[in-house]
């Protein structure tokens, strides 16, 4: 299908109004960055809680662990068979995730803007259309050019399923719907794994529609699966209550732990810490970018005013971007350090003591400094 190009021009004074309105958003982002950083530095490393778990044997339920956080390493087993009640036959799975993609029209847009002498801005947006497999097809009514690009509704949706009951060693899992499971593994489908019905087995997928995987038609669906397999060797964390594993809630932090990991106790604790570290840095980066974007928006009107001569506007944007980057970097680091100290009473006490000691030492050095008498 032919591409469509739309050209729009925004006047100088309208751009100034928009930039001034953007200042409000900039203030919200800038102040919000401190909130994000403070909240992030106060998050609990769940591995610290996991380390305190009482390790129990998988052979028998340890009654002495009643009411405590425990960690049991053994096979996670369910006597149930699990499928998706549609195509995948019931088999040895603890959980199943059905993934559905539709062969659809996909709209892409590419915009280019240029500032004109006098401060107006011209934007050229090109819309292009192609077909491909996607799990979230766009609504044709939202396309710039819906004619000839109609996507039907998906008749089968993504879904997930889990067994009702399971055990890790001798310990029964109380509520499988709340237990956090290990990562799902992609299932390599075979025809004998499937009850096809109206579907066909094609290229490792269940295909529903009028075409084939090689020559699909818009509206065709291809379905794949990911699973957590039964008889999994892993380590489960939870509170022992009446001989069953339930959600553990830490009284000091109010954090909960009710999770099954692949591997040993040490591997599970290491994974929890790795996840904590990863998200810690992700939210630190988010806080920094919020601050940088917010600060840049605060000074946005300056560049728009200078756009009366485009070269001046471009130079100011470069300078503002560089300076706000440096300021945001410094402020983010300070916010992280201060937030860490505020969240750690011990650290605050140590810093205070060190500060007092340094202050006293400086005073003593000044007192001992000899007075120079000039002739």
Query: According to the model, what pLDDT value does residue 331 have?
Result: 96
Helix extents (H) in the chain: 12-41, 46-50, 265-298, 300-306, 310-343, 345-368
Distance CA 81, CA 94 (A): 8
Paired residues of 108 in beta bridges: 128
- Token digits of residue 154: 């998906």
CA distances from residue 49 to 52, 56, 179, 352 in whole angstroms, order as listed: 5, 16, 17, 28
Confidence band of 48 (pLDDT split at 50, 70, 90): very high
Instruction: Note the pTM of the prediction, 2 decimals.
Output: 0.83
Secondary structure (3-state) at 303: helix
Confidence band of 2 (pLDDT split at 50, 70, 90): low
Secondary structure (3-state) at 195: coil
pLDDT in tens, 25-45: 999 999 999 999 999 999 999
Secondary structure (3-state) at 155: coil
pLDDT in tens, 160-199: 999 999 999 999 998 899 999 999 999 999 999 999 888 8
pLDDT in tens, 261-313: 999 999 999 999 999 999 999 999 999 999 999 999 999 999 999 999 999 99
Query: Cβ distance 104 to 134 under 8 Å?
Result: yes
pLDDT of 145 higher than 80: yes
Question: Whose CA is closest to 284, among 336, 322, 323?
Answer: 336
Query: According to the model, what pLDDT value does residue 375 have?
Result: 47
CA distances from residue 328 to 34, 189, 196, 324, 342 in whole angstroms, order as listed: 11, 50, 56, 6, 20
Query: According to the model, what pLDDT value does residue 169 have?
Result: 92
Mean model confidence pLDDT for the chain:
91
Confidence band of 219 (pLDDT split at 50, 70, 90): very high
Averaged pLDDT, 315-331: 95
Q: What percent of the chain stands above pLDDT 90?
A: 82
Distance CA 83, CA 86 (A): 8
Query: According to the model, what pLDDT value does residue 22 have?
Result: 93
Query: According to the model, what pLDDT value does residue 354 have?
Result: 78
Distance CA 199, CA 300 (A): 55
């Amino acid at each position: 299908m032919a591409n469509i190009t739309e050209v729009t021009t925004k006047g100088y004074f309208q751009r100034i109004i928009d930039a001034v309105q953007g200042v409000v958003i900039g203030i919200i982002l800038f102040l919000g960055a401190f909130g994000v950083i403070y909240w992030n530095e106060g998050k609990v490393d769940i591995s610290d809680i996991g380390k305190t778990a009482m390790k129990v044997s998988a052979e028998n339920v340890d009654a002495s662990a009643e009411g405590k956080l425990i960690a049991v390493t053994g096979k996670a087993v369910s006597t149930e068979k699990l499928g998706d009640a549609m195509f995948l036959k019931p088999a040895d799975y603890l959980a199943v995730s059905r993934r559905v993609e539709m062969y659809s029209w996909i709209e892409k847009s590419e915009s280019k803007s240029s500032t004109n002498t006098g401060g107006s801005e011209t934007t050229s947006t090109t819309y292009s259309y192609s077909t491909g497999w996607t799990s979230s097809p766009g609504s044709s009514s939202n396309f710039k050019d819906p004619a000839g690009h109609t996507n039907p509704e998906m008749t089968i949706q993504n879904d997930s399923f889990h067994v009702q009951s399971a055990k890790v060693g001798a310990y029964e899992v109380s509520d499988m719907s709340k237990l956090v499971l290990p990562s799902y593994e992609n299932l390599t489908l075979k025809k004998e794994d499937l009850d096809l019905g109206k579907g066909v087995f094609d290229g490792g997928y269940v295909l529903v529609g009028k075409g084939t995987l090689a020559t699909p038609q818009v509206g065709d669906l291809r379905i794949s699966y990911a699973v957590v397999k039964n008889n999994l060797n892993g380590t489960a964390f939870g509170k022992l209550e009446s001989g069953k594993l339930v959600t553990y809630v830490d009284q000091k932090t109010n954090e909960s732990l009710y999770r099954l990991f692949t591997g040993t106790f040490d591997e599970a604790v290491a994974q929890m810490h790795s996840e904590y570290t990863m998200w810690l840095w992700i939210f630190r980066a988010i806080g920094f970018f919020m601050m940088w974007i917010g600060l840049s928006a605060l000074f946005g009107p300056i560049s728009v005013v200078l756009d009366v001569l485009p070269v001046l506007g471009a130079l100011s944007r470069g300078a503002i971007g560089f300076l706000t980057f440096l300021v945001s970097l410094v402020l983010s680091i300070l916010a992280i350090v201060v937030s860490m100290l505020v969240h750690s009473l011990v650290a605050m006490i140590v810093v205070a003591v060190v500060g007092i000691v340094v202050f006293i030492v400086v005073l003593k050095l000044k007192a001992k400094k000899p007075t120079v008498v000039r002739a």
